[in-house]
Amino acid sequence: MDGAAHRPGIAAGRLGAAEIAENFGDLHPPLDPHEAAVAADRCYFCHDAPCIAACPTGIDIPLFIRQIATGQPRAAAQTIFEANILGGMCARVCPTETLCEEACVRMTAEERPVEIGRLQRYATDAQMATGRHPFTRAAPTGRRVAVVGAGPAGLACAHRLAMHGHDVVVMDARPKGGGLNEYGIAAYKTVDGFAQAELDWLMAIGGIELRAGVALGRDVTLDGLAGEYDAVFLGMGLGAVNALACEGNDLPGVEDAVDFIARLRQSGDLTALPVGRRVVVIGGGMTAVDAAVQSKLLGAEEVTIVYRRGKPAMSASLYEQDLAASKGVRLIYNARPLHVLGNGRAEAVEFEYTADGPSGLHGTGETFTLAADQVFRAIGQTLVTGPLAGLDLDGRKITVDAAGRTSRRGVWAGGDCASGGADLTVTAVAQGRDAAESIHRALMG
């Protein structure tokens, strides 16, 4: 968006520093010890614990909550980290309302669930504040593993491999590690540089080298890595964005929502970040919500999310949809873009209402137009397959088995780039962890 501040309707400094700081404050402030004790006391410590089954990493939730209730938050953190080394980030960004908390037996019409996510943050923050790493490395094995991608899957895999005594080299195309945790999540969910702090804390186990600015296909090849290392794990996520198939898609003022979010996350001064006066976000996932809400928090006057299907089909949770609405974002369902209109730059978007029929989604012929000086595409990402020649693909992802093994011997994959995931941080962590265990077994015979 070079020169964006000079385009009509897109400008920096819509709000002052004080208002920006308030808008981008912690979405869910941490619990204090008394609040944590009260929240923990609401847990029934169910023997069958449906919350555990609902957690992709299988954290023993009743156990860590009981440990908090008995005044042992660091012991609770140990319980969490044994299953999910990125438990601190997951406590902040996981859609707990559709995972563990939705499964809570207190989740009835009369009661709200136990605040599992906030309790998990309370425990993990307590451990990380000590500056001590909760695990130590096993004796060196002499084996070296390459991990492509320093996002949740890659970091979880690297940490577990390092625990087992292997040496790990993590490569990432971006200037910093962290993946979506660093570049792709709303700033109000991960305040105070938490993604980088968690990365530094995780690396403290030792045995992990991070090489930033190294891209698969540009700087290294899969054949080269397979020949140099004893095993390879691919966790580079989805690097390409689906195209918006409508006229005017390439007009100035139209861009990918992921680029906007990454730019915002790396900005040292949000008052200097340009944003439109009238913003339209096309899509229905978390990226769409994060782009829309943050546009509003930066001072955009009108922000609208337009999704082609109905509200229940939107991949962003009802909680996130309600959050967007509470921030002043308008949500329009069952509409698809026809044209981005403008004379040299985006000025409006024409949409057509849609309906589901026997043959699938179709247009109704009824149209409407929204004024827009900034349009964000948030219609999903896709895998860059060029550097993956020789690997079997399952649609738009790498085919893997339950242990993360690909069709190529010595190569594993996990996270958003691999089949079977749910495009969630916690799922990526689980896949990276499980692949590491499979790699360890293979390397040790």
Specify the CATH number for the domain of residue 172.
3.50.50.60
Task: Give the pLDDT band (50/70/90) at residue 8.
Answer: low
Which of 132-160 are b and which e, b meaning 16 or more Cβ less than 10 Å from the residue's Cβ?
A: ebbbebeeebebbbbbbbbbbbbbbbbbb
Residue 57 inside a domain? The answer is yes
**pLDDT in the model for residue 95:** 92
Rounded to whole angstroms, how far apart are CA atoms 371 and 368?
10
* Claim to verify: residue 197 and residue 277 sit in the same structural domain: no
Burial class (CB in 10 A: 0-12, 13-18, 19+), 176: middle
**pLDDT in the model for residue 244:** 87
Residue 230 inside a domain? The answer is yes
* Claim to verify: residue 288 and residue 402 sit in the same structural domain: no
Predicted confidence (pLDDT) per residue in 18-67, tens digit: 999 999 999 999 999 999 999 999 999 998 999 999 999 999 999 999 99
Predicted confidence (pLDDT) per residue in 69-119, tens digit: 999 999 999 999 999 999 999 999 999 999 999 999 998 778 999 999 999
Q: Which residues contact 285 (CB under 8 A, 6 or more apart)?
A: 314, 315, 316, 378, 380, 423
Boundary (domain end) residue, out of 129, 164, 195 = 129
Task: Give the pLDDT band (50/70/90) at residue 2.
Answer: very low
Residue 427 inside a domain? The answer is yes
* Claim to verify: residue 250 and residue 197 sit in the same structural domain: no
Boundary (domain end) residue, out of 99, 129, 159 = 129
Which backbone phi and psi does 292 adopt, to 5 degrees?
Answer: -70, -50
Residue 150 inside a domain? The answer is yes
Left if phi > 0, otherwise alpha if psi is -120 to 50, otherwise beta: which for 63? alpha
Boundary (domain end) residue, out of 325, 350, 378 = 378
Task: Give the pLDDT band (50/70/90) at residue 330.
Answer: very high
What total number of domains does the chain contain? 3
Could you tell me the CATH number of the domain that includes residue 118?
1.10.1060.10
In the block, tokens 């969490």 appear at: 80
- Of the candidates 409, 438, 396, the one whose C-alpha atom is nearest the C-alpha of residue 237 is 396
Residue 43 inside a domain? The answer is yes
Partner residues linked to 208 by β-bridges: 168
**Can you give the residue range of the structural domain that contains 84?**
33-129
Handedness of CA 227, 230, 231, 232 (dihedral sign): negative
- Of the candidates 247, 252, 318, the one whose C-alpha atom is nearest the C-alpha of residue 289 is 318
* Claim to verify: residue 331 and residue 387 sit in the same structural domain: no
Residue 12 inside a domain? The answer is no
Residue 227 inside a domain? The answer is yes
Residue 434 inside a domain? The answer is yes
Average pLDDT of the chain to the nearest whole number: 94
Q: Is residue 371 pLDDT above 50, yes or no?
A: yes
